[in-house]
Amino acid sequence: NAGVTQTPKFQVLKTGQSMTLQCAQDMNHNSMYWYRQDPGMGLRLIYYSASEGTTDKGEVPNGYNVSRLNKREFSLRLESAAPSQTSVYFCASSESRDGLTEAFFGQGTRLTVV
């Protein structure tokens, strides 16, 4: 029972490099989310996808792009990494859009930009 799977778990980038964080869920959830977590800041929403084929900006979208490849997969891309993007990134998914279910999280990607 995998749930939400993120890859990679750790990554070090140089400033200006690009990379894609992968996320897949096997729970047939409609909604998927990308959050970043910085010390003392809780989880801040970067982008979300309410359903396959749709994506929308969250609280902190600058410097990121996303793709909802299909119902299972939701990727996050950093086109030109900056030190300010050093963070822990979490992908999450939830079953319904009526707000009455919990969100399930992946194990996180720890990204360092030097």
Interacting residue ranges for other proteins, rule: CB under 8 A: 31, 33, 35, 40-45, 48, 50, 58, 90, 92, 94, 97-108
Q: Which amino acid is present at 9?
A: K
R_g over Cα of the chain: 13
Comparison of 1 and 14: residue with beta carbon closer to other proteins: 1
Q: Which amino acid is present at 88?
A: V
Closest Cα partner for 70 from 12, 9, 28? 28
Place of tokens 């959050």: 35
Comparison of 17 and 88: residue with beta carbon closer to other proteins: 88
Kindly state the smallest distance separating residue 66's Cβ from other proteins, in Å. 14
SS3 (DSSP) at 54: coil
Comparison of 31 and 85: residue with beta carbon closer to other proteins: 31
Kindly state the smallest distance separating residue 21's Cβ from other proteins, in Å. 14
Kindly state the smallest distance separating residue 5's Cβ from other proteins, in Å. 11
Kindly state the smallest distance separating residue 83's Cβ from other proteins, in Å. 22
Closest Cα partner for 60 from 36, 32, 83, 38? 36
